[in-house]
Structure formats: structure tokens, C-alpha cells
Structure 1
């Protein structure tokens, strides 16, 4: 490997498994919940120079399928030895994420369980295997007898045939709590049968009653001279941008050492960027569904669920794909083909001006570099798209699609009031209200390590001596100097943004170079602040957190999210109240969607969008895209001078 952050290879994953088996740490009962590159501390990476020796280290999280014991192991595949090995206290710390094999396991357990099958018979279901079971993370609700258990809570759907869209047929009113180590039903909650919707909504099959449109003409995107970007191993260079691509089982796509060429150097902007966690809290408080809160990274391992992307379907244009090398439950290397998609695309007008005084017409086209991946987590699918623009702007767009998690709809109240916790999306089919909340971890490095964060609000100025006509307005700038001051909410009425500046470098005007985070400012967590999910997903209670860099603080709800009661998250880190002014800072941004499902979201949901933008703010001395070449017009008069000195409005 030629860089400390180079992605793990299949040989390294295999070597790691071999080392752990040779050391007697892994046995036939061992499952490899997580295998990931142990990224060196930032200072080590920044001090490293090509040609220097590398010690490639791999961190493994192991589960003993027989006993439930969990071990955390650090091994050097370079030196060929185990460096550290400890047993995880699953009561105090939590459980590893749910494994692929456990989704099949819960079905086998329930198909054989008499109490479960009796509940199904009460609903008119006599064939156990026609009931498909969704193994869902259990959360932590201080329920007696659940302490330390590797537990999932299971909801069911009826499958009418092998091609059926099961999500259309929720088997409601019953939930099984399954102990995955004991392989038995720990508890069964049955509130009584609800009518099972049986109408088929097989959107994925040809339907004579819904013939495809014939009105669409082909759209072809071609780059006859090839793309403008280059890929050297994991390093991508496009226009003036340069960054390194990473990928791991928890976060999926990560981006490292993002910089922009300015003069004779590449100026750093972000050391490491990722979506470090996302949670989907549901809002139905009933006894069957009160616990529905899913951490898709920490409990389900986003990276493991990455799709193999297909040209012409998932991606259009001149595409460069990267495979992702991960691991299976037995620790063997597993390759996801075409997991990462990279391309450039036209993004509209970069700038335009028609000048009535000098007769010039100037237009430039914006382009952006796109780096993306898509995951499927149960019923939902998510796309993560990082955009890099010619003018130095960085954007993250997250796309939510797939199938809403269906329930039986209990009907409106006797007074005609709608059921308060779910939408009716089809006759008898409900979809509980829920949120999709993401946490972007932005390890900032704006022109260096000495950074600071300011909160900037617009400020109205009352009419008075300094504002005699009442038209004046200004802005209020507040330095977030300590961690206790840097847990913040967005405020659209104040146009609130957060500026990350370098306290040691200035631009041509003598002002600190900076980038500004522009949030969407949509609702944060809607659950009560005293709730379990508010404790476990504390990051969702604020739009912004800023922390001093600590290499061990990688995930906003902690390393062990599954069955963790919320004692290891970002709200606990900031109690240290570390200084942030001129420090090496990490910006954590919470953003996302509040979803009241619509009939138009059924049976498959059109993409919904959320994200944020980072804009250079005095980082450059002028528009950094002034050297963008003029487009080649389709018509001769497109970019030619106008005639006459002025044009009337």
C-alpha cells in the first residue's frame, strides 16, 4: 500500500482473518461483525511522506455465535501479529451491528415457534413460511430481563407468491422479541388481529393495465474525449479539486484530504468527510411499534448494504466505478462490484452577464464532479451524492427512496379525525410518520489545522439615528469558542449559517480565509427529549455540534450503537468543554427529512432530497472559476456582443 489511508485490499482482509484464527481468537463459532482499516491519527497521516514505512492495522469486532461474547481486536497485517484484544462489556457498551445471517435466522426461529404460529393462525395464516419477518434493531427501553441480550424485535408481512411485494401485506398487531444467541422467542406481544391488506402492489412486474410510456425520446450523455478527471488508485483529481476515496462497512463512502489547487499548492479544506450515522425514528407510540428507531450505520452497517451500480440505470454518462472490498460474516473478503460511481456533469449556468455599456456578453457553464453510492437497508434505499463545483463549492445530497414501512391502517376516529400517528396510503394500508436524520462528520482543515467556527445571523436594525430611513440591516457574528457553546440549532428566520475559518491565514483583504456551512434547517428530532431515542441519538437534537478533534470520536452515537442506552454519544463528549478557538475542529451537522407519507409514495416512493452546502467565504481572493473556458455555442449569435450602448429594462 502506498498511503496510510489506502482502502483495505482483499488480501489484507484475508490475512487479518488468518491471523485471528492462528492466534486462537477466532474459532468456528466466531462471526466477524466488522472488519475495517484502523486509520492512523491525523497527525501521523499528515507527517507521513511517500516512501516511508507503513504499518497497516485492521480492527475487528467479533461475535461468538455460541456464547454471545464480543471481542474487539487490533491486528497488524504488516507485522503479522495481534496488537490488542479485549472483551466488550455488552451490558455497559452495547452489541455489534446486526449480521447478514441473522436476518435469515429470525425467520427460521419464528417459523418453528408455536406461540408465533398460533398468533398467525388467529389471523387466518396457516403456512408459516408465507410469513416474512423483518428483523429490526431492538433499541434500549429499560425493559426488565433484556439487559445484555442480543435482541431484535420482529414485525411480519405476508408473501402471497414468490414475486410478491411483501411490504403491501403487513401482519399487524403482533411483534416478537427474539434472542439471537439463545435462538428463541424472548417475548411475544399480541394486541389482537388486524385485517391484512391483500391487494397486490407489484410495481416491479409488468402490468398490462399499466403499459410503459412511449413518449420519451432518448437522452444520451457523451464525452467523446473522455472525462476530465483522473483516478490514481484512490486519489481523484478533477479540475482544481483533489481528494482521496475511502470505503468502510459502517459509513460506506468516505472522502479524505479534500483540497483545491490555488497557485502552486493544493489548499486543504476538509481532512475527512462522511455520513457517520443516520437514524430513522418512527412516531407511532402504540405497544407494537413504540420501539421503531433504526440506526442505519451503527446497527445495520451502511457500507455492507451498498448496491452494485449499473450503467444506464443508476448512472448516466462517462462513468468511472470503484469496487468496494469488505468482509462477510466469516471474515472472508467480499467485493461489491461498482459500489462507488464517479462522473462529471453539467450543472447549469456558472455565471452570466450581458453588459449594456461595453457590449459584452459573458456566459460560463457550471460543472460538478459527482462521487456517489447507494444502499438498501430493508425497505428503504438511500443515495449519497457528494458534489464538487468549479467555484469551490462542496455539496452533499442524500436521496431517500424505496418502500415506506407499511402497517395496517386502523381507520379514522368516530368523529372523522384521521389516525394521529400514520397516513393511509392505500385502502387499509398505513405508513407511520417518521424522520430520516443524518449526521455528517466534517473533520475540517480550512487551509490548515488552526480553525474556528462563527455563527452568523442576519440582524434587523430598528429605525433610529444610525438607520434614519429604516432600510438598514446587518449581521451578528458569534464565535463558538468552547464545546458548551457549539451545540446549535439552525434558524431560517435569522438566515443562520456557520463559518469555519482559519485563525492564522488571511486573504488579500486581510480577513481570515473560510468556508461557510449553509444548512437546510429542517426539523431536528421530534421525539420527547426524555425519550430513549433522544438519549441514544442525542446528535439529532441539534443541527450543529463542534468538537475538538479526537481520533476516537468517530461516530456521534458511539462505537457500539446496537443495544447501547446512550451513554457514549456526542452529548457526553462535549462535557469536557474543550477550547475550539484556533483549534483542530470537527463539525457535525444534523440534517434530514420529516416524512408524512403520501399516497404518491406508494407502492414505491419517488426520490426525496435533503443535504447541505459548503461555500468558500473569503477562501479565495477572487472568483476561482474565472479561468473557466467559454462554452461552444450552438448558434452563432449566442455569445456575441449586443448592439447599442444600453438596453431598456
Structure 2
């Protein structure tokens, strides 16, 4: 097991996509400070590599000069003014600057520092203290949970930096506040004025009293003593190699990056096919997620969180632990990010790389020629985990020996609770008097495809019945119906499991030995898209989540499906704006955007800590190879393929 720092050192990157180093982050701060843009009240909201154009990256050879640039969002807490800058680290200068019109463009993401000050503002509000006294609650024992405000037609909020606050009671230091929601009341806080501007005191509801720590009496479960250890060992070490941010495993080669908004990113993913490195994906990331809630009450109707665009969830990445988060022969990577004062900080063991057994890869026993062959599968796993408020999310990219690529999102943690108002509402009772509102977790994967090159086409493939007729007299026939998606408007699609719907991304300029266009198929899970009404605020702000598929031509400026600035943006940014021109996407350099996720009707079994739930998608080769690419996998990497009965005597 080794621990390395993902970022390079010094100001000389070895590759255009290498994340910013600590020295580069310091250099960025120096440039902005020297330009007079960093004062006592100014904070660094976002600092990350400004990735160069794809053509520059693809044309790069080791030794080429690289201009290193960073994108920086600043917030002046004294005025609420946000600014957007591109800084050339190489040239030591600001390449561009823009002021942000918060009334029309939205606000920069919310700072941790702003969250930390909220309880002080609440204690200074006469209305808030009175609301707590009305409930016989000591305001000092109230834990404030400030949350993004969204946009709901409140004219007095336009251009103001607002959060909305829900409250929870905490009786002592180890008490889990989530178990005790103070429902029926909330506060609106102006983060620039630093004061409560409105208290909505709708109804007094009982505060649930049962404790919620996972090991709290009287419901604490005894620790099991009947589970024997599982040891995963690789005596000869792992099969992957690591060179900086470049990883090679089996036939796969790729680079990884890390961004505090997107988290883990994959770059230049390719498959070595008989000595030819064939590209599959240029860049892959989870570019946005939204968690819309279904409770329409006056104090909760606004609960819709964009954990990336509003909170920059990558900054909450966990430091992973061997034996708990990852098993086996692990390679960890540290991540260097900027804090809110523009100084570098290291997130230790932020990314985990390992390989794991995945059961049978292929197998056949044949009565005609006596063949009896089995090959075991394994996969490469690169992942990270984060905690944002009550929820914990893991994102796992899997690469398989047969050319499959998979993304799996894992959701766990604590469901966001409410008071339970009885049957027929919009929550499940998970403990006495404790409700867990219905909600969704919807993610957007941005897949900059490069299937055997940058000329790609997307087709929708459905399983369809063939009616009884001359060509199908017995009615047993069915076929795959393929529809090529030619324009951005045609490519706004919803999954349909009843038709086994997939989307094929093919290269019309490359064919396999059978004359078929080489391709990869996107296999969606087919869960519901956004369930909020089409006329709702969240449907406008998270329009990406109303479709499972969008396709756009490559544009390096089009990175985020809900737009650059999501916090308090009124909506229709991101994908709706990208596709407004209805551009041609046939045989183009394209980006595929895929919405997937969970619709969560919580269960009592989800309390007090939710077992992991899963969502994701697969990209499987379809005609990309001439035949099964995993035929060369050896029969076994151990000394035996089955257990010796003597071992159990």
C-alpha cells in the first residue's frame, strides 16, 4: 500500500491535465492579491485547473511547453459581489475577469465560513428566539442547518445572497440532532447583511425525542461475533501501474483528475487492442446532482439541493481508511485543493485505486468437443467518498476485462428528517414521530465520447415486436429498432425499460471485420427522471434531470448541465441553453449527458443510518471489438481453480 500526492510539485506540470499543485495554487493567490482583488473580506470560492482545449491535449507530447491556467471564483463577503477570473500561472497574470450579476446569473457557491456563522445570526433574531420559546426549546441547544434557497418568485430576494435554515435539537454533545427536527418553522438569512430577514412559523409540531445515534440505547444492536475475517491479498502486488496521474491496467489506460466541484474525473480512457491504443472516452465526470424533496409544506417546499453547483461537494471528500473504505492492495492518492483563503490544503487518501475479483467472466462446458473452460473476471476500481450534510456519497468507476465501463454511485448516511404528520403525507415514519420525506437523488454524467476517434453518432435502439404477417406467420419475431439521433432536439430522450432501450455511440468512419460501425452502448438503469411538476421552479433549474439523455457537440465552455452558477439561478441554464440552437450531432465530436439516480421512499430500515443504495449506468462495447476481447485471460492466477476437499477434512 502506498500513498502518493496526485498533484505534481513545482510549477512545471508533466501533462496539460495534471491538477493544480500547491505551488500553483499559491501562485494563483499571489497574482490575484497583487492585482488588488484579495482584501480582508474576499474569499476564494472555487480554484481549479482551467483545462485546455481538447485539441491541445490530444496534440501534446512530453516536453511540450504548457500554459497552465486556473479558474477562480471570488466572493466579497462584505458586499456579496462575485467575480470570475482566469489566471495564467505560467505568465503570472490575469487572463480574464468578469463581474457576476447575481440577479440574472446566480450566486457563487456557498462558503463553509458562511454556514458556520448562521447560529450566531439566529440567536440575534428576536423572532427566532420567540419561535423556540413557543416550543419550550432552549435556543442554545438548536443546531442550524442552512440550505440553498433556490428561486421561488420572491421579489425581495432577487440579487440578495439568501439561505433558508431548518433547525434540529441537540440535547448533549453526542446526541444526533437529525433525530430531533424542530419542524414547522424556518428562517431566511441574508448572508451579506448577516441577519435573519424572515421567520416562517407555520405550526408547532412535536419534536421527536428518541435518540438517533446508531448505538444509542435502548435499540443498540450488539456487535456480531460470528463473522470471520475476509482477507484479500495479492502476494505479487497489484496488476496496475501508476505514473503520476496516468494509470495502466490490463488493456486499459487513462488519466485521472480531481475538481472540487465535480470530484473525481477520468481522462483519455483507451483500450489497447492488439497493440493499438483505441480511445473510448475523452473525459468522464459526474457534472451535477440534485436532490429534490416532495414535502410541499410552507417551511419545506424549497428543499432542492444541487450538491455540486451550490456546495462544491468535492471539498467534503473523506480521507479513506484501509479495511473500512477499501480492501486489498490499495493505492491511495492525495488531492491538493485551495481553501477559502486561497491557500493549498491536502485531502489525504482522497482517491482509492484497487482491483477486485468479480466472479465468472466467461464459461462453457461442451458435450461435443469436451471443452470445459472457465475464466474469472476482475475489475479495476477508482473511487472517492464524500460527506455533505446528512448524506454520504461514494462514486466508483469500474473498468472490466471485457471492455465494459461502469459508474456506480453509492448513497448512504442519514436521511434528512422531518416531523411525521401522519399517513397520506409526503414522508415515511422511520421512528416514533420522525418522518423521512420522499425525495430523489439525480445525477448527471458528462461523457465526452471518443469512440475510436472524435467522429461519433448516437442511435436509440429499442426492442420491438414484429406483427404477425407474411414475414412472421407464427408471431414469434422481434427485432432491434435503431433510430439515429441527428440533432440536439431529437436527442432529448427518456429511458424505457419496457423496450430494453439503449443508446449506441458509434463511429461511422471505423468498422469492425464484419463491416459494422464500431461502437459502445449506454445502458441506462431506467429509473424515473425528475418527478416535480413541469411548471415547478426545480424543473426549470434542474432541467437536465427531466431527460435521461442529451447530446451536444463538444464545446469546452459547456461543462455543467445546470449552468456555471447554480446557486439562486432562476433556471433554464446549462443544457436547455446549450441545445437551443438545435445543432447537428450526427458524425460529430459529441458529448453525451446521462441523467440517472434514485427515487427514495424511505423505509424504517433506512434509520438511523441508511444502508448503501445504488445507482449508475454501464457503457458496453457493441461491435467495438471483432470478438470477445477477454479470451486471453488466463485460467487462474492462483495455484488452483477449485478447493481441494482435503482442505476441509
Q: For this structure pair, what is the TM-score category when the shorter chain's length is used for normalisation?
A: over 0.9
| Cα separation, 2, equivalents of 1:538 and 1:636 | 51
- Matched residue pairs, number? 632
C-alpha distance in 2, partners of 1:215/1:191? 50
Q: What is the match of residue 343 of structure 1?
A: 354
Q: 1:415: which partner in 2?
A: none
Q: Per the alignment, in what secondary structure is the counterpart of residue 108 of structure 1? A: helix
The aligned residue for residue 533 of structure 1 is 538
State how far apart, in whole Å, the 2-side matches of 1:548 and 1:455 are.
17
Superposition pairs of residues 291-370 of structure 1, within 5 angstroms = 291-370=302-381
Pair 1:48-2:68 in alignment: no
Shift of 1:112: 2.2
Partner secondary structure for residue 334 of structure 2: strand
Relative to structure 1, the CA distance from residue 380 to residue 36 in structure 2 (aligned partners, 3 Å threshold; closer, same or farther) is same
Question: d(CA) in 2 for partners of 1:581 and 1:130?
Answer: 60
Say what the alpha-carbon RMSD is for the aligned residues. Answer: 1.4
Distance in 1 separating the partners of 2:74 and 2:215? 38
Pick from 376, 379, 382: which aligns with 2:390? 379
**Out of 204, 210, 214, which is 1:199 matched to?**
210
- Name the SS for the 2:156 alignment partner: coil
Aligned match of 1:428 = 433
* Greater mean alpha carbon deviation, residues 338-347 or residues 43-52: 43-52
**1:622 is matched with which residue?**
627
Task: From 20, 26, 35, give the equivalent of 1:23.
Answer: 35
Mapping for residues 172-321 of structure 1, pairs under 5 Å: 172-203=183-214, 210-321=221-332
CA shift, 1:125, in A, is 1.0
1:580 to 579, 585, 590: 585
Q: Secondary structure of 2:57's partner?
A: helix
- In the TM superposition, residue 635 of structure 1 has moved relative to its aligned partner by 6.1
In structure 2, which of residues 132, 149, 155 is the aligned counterpart of residue 144 of structure 1?
Answer: 155
Matched-pair contact (CA < 8 Å) for 2:543–2:572: no
Tell me, yes or no, if structure 1 residue 65 matches structure 2 residue 70. no
Structure 1 partner of 2:9: none
Structure 2 residue 164 is matched with structure 1 residue 159: no
Counterpart among 22, 25, 35 of residue 13 in structure 1: 25
The offset of 1:144, in angstroms, is 2.0
Residue 139 of structure 1, CA deviation: 0.3
Map of 1:645 onto structure 2: none
Q: Confirm or deny that 1:520 pairs with 2:525.
A: yes
CA positional deviation for 1:207: 7.5
Q: Is the 8 A contact 2:393 2:410 kept in 1?
A: yes
TM-score by length of 2: 0.96
Distance 1:16 1:483, change over 3 A: same
Once the two structures are superposed, what CA deviation does each residue of 1:209-258 show, in whole Å capped at 9, x if it has no partner?
Answer: 53211110000001111100011000010011001010011000000000
Structure 2 counterpart of 1:642: none
- Return the offset for 1:357: 1.3
Corresponding residue SS for 2:322: coil
- Of the candidates 443, 453, 466, which is equivalent to residue 471 of structure 2? 466
For the Cα contact (< 8 Å) 2:214–2:220, is it kept in 1?
A: no
Query: Separation in 1 of the partners of 2:254 and 2:117?
Result: 41
SS at match of 2:467: coil
SS of alignment partner, residue 382 of structure 2? strand
Question: TM-score, with normalisation over the residues of structure 1?
Answer: 0.96
- State which of 553, 562, 570 in structure 2 corresponds to 1:548: 553
Moved more, 38-47 or 537-546: 38-47
- C-alpha contact (below 8 Å) 2:502/2:524 kept by paired residues: yes
Deviation at 1:580, TM superposition (A): 0.7
Structure 1: distance between partners of 2:247 and 2:637: 27
Q: CA deviation at 1:486?
A: 0.2
2:118: which partner in 1? 106
| 2:215–2:221 CA contact under 8 A, matched in 1 | no
Q: CA deviation at 1:114?
A: 1.7
Secondary structure at the aligned position of 1:103 is classed as helix
Partner of 2:3: none
Give ranges in structure 2 of 5+ residues lacking alignment: 1-12, 645-649
Which residue of the other structure, out of 176, 181, 202, is the alignment partner of 1:170? 181
Residues 536 and 569 of structure 1 are in contact (CA less than 8 Å); yes or no, is this contact kept in structure 2?
A: no
Residues 1:606 and 2:617 are matched in the alignment: no
Is residue 104 of structure 2 the alignment partner of residue 89 of structure 1? no
Question: How far apart are residue 266 of structure 1 and its match?
Answer: 1.1
CA displacement at 1:598 relative to structure 2: 0.4
